[in-house]
Chains A and B, each alone.
Chain A
Amino acid sequence: MTKRRDLYLYLTLICFFAIIAIFVVDGYMGVYDTINITAGERPQKIDPDFWLRPEAMTYETWVAWGEKVFFDYEIANHRLTGYTAEVNASVWRSQEKVRDLVTQPLTINALSSGRVEWSIDTAELVPGGVTQGQSVQYSIRVRRDNIEWRIIININPGSLPAPPKPAIRPAQPG
């Protein structure tokens, strides 16, 4: 009778620890994206769990006109098999594609990671500059398989050299 009682207790403990193990292993396994953005001199990191939040639709960042924005897209393959995907990043405005930034096939070994880098020159994107008091929004769409992340870039007026002021001539006497 005691043996059977112990058996039930052990079974309970085994089930409990198996549930904890599933929480840990299943949480770790998968393919995770991390995007590092350097806008101006400000580095920002978008962790994988950012996109898992229900309220997270897009990530937003700001940059002054004339500066470059650097992207470092890291894909971590936490699986026991290899992972192959094509990564595509493009710039969009008003639901229209402006240009492709990068298209790169990626093969990542098991329990390893791969990365794709690209950059945007805001001066090329908005050649005429941005008028004071306004900002221009572009969205960067990063696609991997059927997953798409959106990053909004607000291009603010940079510190452009002030236009030369007209010389004021002193009033002529008489």
Chain B
Amino acid sequence: MKINYILYGFGILLCLSGVGYLAVQYVKYLSELGRLISLLLTIGMFASLGKFFESVGW
């Protein structure tokens, strides 16, 4: 069972690093305004996600 969780963790890390890499590549081609709005939306997204998990009881 333990090996399963290790593999899950490994998979999640790979997914996050892949998404992060793609985001960096995309951000390179964005305008300054686009970067600013994306940053604000990212903050909003994580804040909402945090509040969602808080309301779930995590």
- Genuine A/B complex: yes
Spell out A's residues near B (CB within 8 Å): 1, 4-5, 8-9, 11-12, 15-16, 18-19, 22-23, 26-27, 29-30, 52
Q: How far is the CA of A11 from the CA of B47 in the complex (A)?
A: 9
Nearest CB on A from B56, distance (A) = 6
What are 9 A-B contacts defined by CB distance under 8 Å?
Answer: A1-B55, A5-B52, A9-B52, A12-B45, A16-B45, A22-B30, A23-B30, A23-B38, A29-B31
Pick from B29, B33, B37, B55: contact of A27, CB below 8 A. Answer: B29
Would you call the interface of chain A mostly helix, strand, loop, or mixed? helix
Spell out B's residues near A (CB within 8 Å): 26, 28-31, 33-34, 37-38, 41-42, 44-45, 48-49, 51-52, 55-56
Would you call the interface of chain B mostly helix, strand, loop, or mixed? helix
Given contacts A1-B55, A5-B56, A52-B29, contact A15 B45 (CB under 8 A): yes
For the A-B complex, the count of residue pairs with Cβ-Cβ distances under 8 Å equals 51
Given contacts A22-B30, A22-B41, A23-B26, contact A15 B55 (CB under 8 A): no
Pick from B26, B37, B42, B48: contact of A11, CB below 8 A. Answer: B48
Judging by beta carbons under 8 Å apart, are B38 and A19 in contact? yes
B48: chain A residues at CB < 8 Å are 8-9, 11-12, 15
B31: chain A residues at CB < 8 Å are 26, 29-30
